[in-house]
Amino acid sequence: MSRYLLSIDQGTTSTRAVLFTGEGVIAEKAQCEFPQYYPNDGWVEHNPDDILTTVIDCCRQVIKQQNINASDIVAVGIANQRETTVIWDRHTGKSVYNAIVWQDRRASKYCQQLKDDGIEPMLQEKTGLLADPYFSATKIKWILDNVEGTRARAEKGDLLFGTIDTFLLWHLSGTKSHKTDASNASRTLLFNIHTQSWDEELLSLFNIPVSMLPEVMDSSDDFGVIDAGILGSEIPILAMAGDQQAALFGQACFESGMAKSTYGTGCFLMLNTGDKALTSKHQLLTTVAYRLDGKTTYALEGSIFVAGAAIQWLRDGLKLIGQADEAELLARDTPLSHGVYMVPAFTGLGAPYWDPDSRGAIFGLTRNTGIKEIVTAGLQSVCYQTKDLQKSMEVDGVRPISLRVDGGMAVNAWFLQFLSNILGARIDVPTVIETTAQGVAFLAGLRAGVFSSLEHVEAIWQLDASYDPTMPKSERDIFYAGWMESVKRVRSELN
């Protein structure tokens, strides 16, 4: 029996398909980028058809490149950019509007009204989340309120909602399966993480018909099968998870207190809190890490909207570098005392500030400032934002003293050493940094019987490199104080 597992890692700027062996080794991978749309300040959209096309193309590529048949794949797992919202017609499959991306801030005023009305404590108690445009419910409401005819169609039962995992599943299964998993459901502002069910009070608050919502499953479960006409053979879809939860699983952070940080378009630091849904006093999020056999594991999460996207902006927007890997070379040639701070609040600030109206800035420019100082400040901004999250977790009583890291920036050794210095913590890098894809491969493999237990999965995870802090605390504190002053100067509510 073949033991290939296929992971679909549908991200914010690109889609990846990764083929794993039964030993958790990458056999093949493919990546397809797709367009981003910015119709207004703070708005971010995707064409759902672009996403579906790149998923199918990437899957076909890895099957062809590995010279196998679809029938050689035991199971598929889907990881997805979370909160991104699609509404489509259940009869035609056509979306009623572009996908509204998790970064999108168009519902900022509405969310502020929820806060002013004293609604946020109830939202946090039920969902672990905050009143912020980041989450799906405000995006669903915006579409129903602003796209002509959609509310009436939704109330008739003609429209379906899904985060990207659900949208892909529905199409890949030939419209047969409308499901999500508990980790994705927990990011919608509609799911009670304590009862593990859609919440009637929240549906009423946002005026969203329950008929639109998918069935909520375990993260490792029977979601349906890929239609034979798509890849050449039916393949069971046995796992779905939000990308950050998938990365936590892929990093084998199965014990309470273990933490990972993923550096992709954004940055997401997630700490396993076991069977306890801890409530943060510093605006971190309480979320479902994963659900297996009906048992929920929770996590505390800090979300940074702009991490790798800052380097992408330096490359594509300012054209200061030609390739992302040039940033490391420039940083190595730059004294740490360059004095420049970049606050990349392109779409507001995430945790722990949750300030959707802040905008980015660069401080400390002099006649001596050049490209290398600005690029280095961009790398450092990601480290400082991670420090913000660590400090918040520390005050909440659960400071992570080591981090397992992954994502595109995890190949940058200069960045990882500076991160270790600023956090005063050990940074561990696994041999497989495709941990999001590996996480859903693990989840699918558990369901398929490829992996026998969490202990089996844990044994597969391997350390590639560690970075220990070399910077004195006094120096670290000076750098971080400069960052805090810069953040203060961009905060919208303070201006």
**Interval 16-34: pLDDT, tens:** 999 999 888 999 999 999 9
- DSSP β-bridge partners for residue 77: 7, 239
Sheet holding 73-80, edge to edge: 26-33, 14-20, 4-10, 73-80, 235-242, 220-226
CA distances from 198 to 122, 185, 194, 201 (A): 15, 8, 11, 9
State yes or no: pLDDT of 134 exceeds 70.
yes
CA distances from 89 to 99, 181, 306, 368, 423 (A): 14, 21, 32, 57, 47
- DSSP β-bridge partners for residue 299: 272, 287
pLDDT tens digit sequence for 428-463: 999 988 899 999 999 999 999 999 999 999 999 999
Euclidean distance between CA atoms 79 and 268, whole angstroms: 15
Q: What angle do CA 325, 327, 329 make, to 5 degrees?
A: 85
Instruction: Return the pLDDT at 291.
Output: 97
Instruction: Return the pLDDT at 1.
Output: 45
State yes or no: pLDDT of 305 exceeds 60.
yes
Q: Is the peptide bond before 335 cis (omega within 30 degrees of 0)?
A: no
CB crowding 44-74: b at 16 or more within 10 Å, else e:
bbbebebbbebbbebbbbbbeeeebebebbb
Helices (H), 280-370: 308-316, 326-332
Instruction: Return the pLDDT at 495.
Output: 54
Query: Contact at 8 Å (CB) between 436 and 250?
Result: yes
Report the chain's mean pLDDT, rounded to a whole number.
93
Q: How would residue 157 be classed by pLDDT, with cut points 50, 70 and 90?
A: very high
Judged by average pLDDT, the poorest of 166-175, 177-186, 272-281 is: 272-281
State yes or no: pLDDT of 94 exceeds 90.
yes
Enter the pTM of the model: 0.87
Instruction: Return the pLDDT at 401.
Output: 66
Euclidean distance between CA atoms 470 and 420, whole angstroms: 8
How far, rounded to the nearest angstrom, does the alpha carbon of residue 181 sit from its chain's CA centroid? 15
Q: How would residue 82 be classed by pLDDT, with cut points 50, 70 and 90?
A: very high
Euclidean distance between CA atoms 9 and 102, whole angstroms: 16
Q: What is the mean pLDDT of residues 311-315?
A: 92
Q: Which two tokens stand for residue 132?
A: 């912020």
Sign of the Cα torsion 246, 247, 248, 252 reads positive
Query: Contact at 8 Å (CB) between 50 and 35?
Result: yes
CB crowding 384-416: b at 16 or more within 10 Å, else e:
bbbbbbbbbbeebebbbeebbbbbbbbebebbb
Q: How would residue 493 be classed by pLDDT, with cut points 50, 70 and 90?
A: low
From the list 346, 348, 482, 335, the residue with the least C-alpha distance to 422 is: 482
pLDDT tens digit sequence for 160-177: 999 999 999 999 999 999
pLDDT tens digit sequence for 243-259: 999 999 999 999 888 89
Collect all residues with Cβ–Cβ distance below 8 Å to 206 and sequence separation of at least 6: 137, 138, 140, 141, 189, 190
Q: Which two tokens stand for residue 488?
A: 């203060």
Give percent of the chain above pLDDT 70.
98
